[in-house]
Amino acid sequence: MNNIVILISGSGSNMKAIVEHSIKARWLERYEARVSLVLSTDPASKGLAWANAAGLHTQVLSHKDYPTLSKDQAREAFESDLCAVLDEQAPALVVLAGFMRILSPSTVEHYAHRMINIHPSLLPAFTGLQTHERALLAGCKFHGATVHWVTAELDAGAIIDQAVVPVLSTDTVQMLAHRVLTQEHLLYPSAIENWLKTGSKLKAVEVGR
């Protein structure tokens, strides 16, 4: 069984798009694949509420669950518990979908070639935060989203697939963000399905970095 675990922190819109596409495209019947767990770092997140209503297996785990520990100790404890939860699923793929934690190199290495992320820019441009604002300030003609392998270096893993969105002269940050997110909802399920179709690692194309 190809168990897919999705990690979220907020609205979970990409998680929802993946789950809905998995049902529509019959991943279980065609690829022996299922979303076996949705894990949220926020017990009040909208994504968690949606996943629960959809009947998915869910769990909450937060770095805030360790109030008696130092910051470094809490991070270590959180990631140790996270790995334990994920390993119970024997995940074929760990999907970060609005997961607002930067994982340590040891955790990333533990899931090497099994952990992917989606980033709201055409990597390698605009790693990190505020990508839409930065694209507008730079006068970009095109913007978009990238699915990539997760590595210890932030937003630097090999590119799996991208979606391109034109930047319009009338765009505000909110307008551009909305169009990019619409493409993310198509791109992320497609990238995962391509992996399921090949039955092997997603083809990752290295770009100049």
Classify residue 37 as exposed, middle or buried by CB count within 10 Å of its CB (0-12, 13-18, 19+).
buried
Q: Decide if pLDDT at 52 tops 70.
A: yes
pLDDT over 70, % of the chain: 95
Q: Decide if pLDDT at 118 tops 60.
A: yes
Q: Decide if pLDDT at 11 tops 70.
A: yes
Q: Decide if pLDDT at 203 tops 70.
A: no
Q: Please provide the DSSP assignment of the chain as one string.
A: -EEEEEEESS--HHHHHHHHHHHHTTHHHHHSEEEEEEEES-TT-HHHHHHHHTT--EEE--GGG-TTS-HHHHHHHHHHHHHHHHHHT--SEEEESS---PPPHHHHHHTTTTEEEEESS-TTSS-SS-HHHHHHHTT-SEEEEEEEE--SSTT-SPEEEEEEEEPPTT--HHHHHHHHHHHHHHHHHHHHHHHHHHTSPPP-B----
**CA nearest to 153, candidates 180, 184, 124:** 124
What pLDDT does residue 198 have?
Answer: 87
What residues are annotated to the active site?
A: 119
pLDDT in tens, 121-175: 999 999 999 999 999 999 999 999 999 999 999 999 999 999 999 999 999 999 9
What pLDDT does residue 208 have?
Answer: 32
Average per-residue pLDDT for the chain: 94
What pLDDT does residue 199 have?
Answer: 64
Rg (CA), the chain: 17
Q: What is the mean pLDDT of residues 62-77?
A: 93
What pLDDT does residue 29 have?
Answer: 97
pLDDT in tens, 171-202: 999 999 999 999 999 999 999 999 999 864 44
CA–CA dist 163, 104 (Å, integer): 28
> What domains can be seen in the chain, in order of their start residue?
1-111 (3.40.50.170), 118-209 (3.40.50.170)
CA–CA dist 60, 9 (Å, integer): 10
Q: Is the CB of residue 194 less than 8 Å from the CB of residue 200? A: no
Q: Decide if pLDDT at 205 tops 90.
A: no
**CA nearest to 173, candidates 129, 135, 140:** 135
CA–CA dist 182, 189 (Å, integer): 12
Q: How confident is the model at residue 5 (pLDDT cuts 50, 70, 90)?
A: very high
Least confident of 16-25, 38-47, 87-96, 199-208: 199-208
Q: Decide if pLDDT at 206 tops 60.
A: no
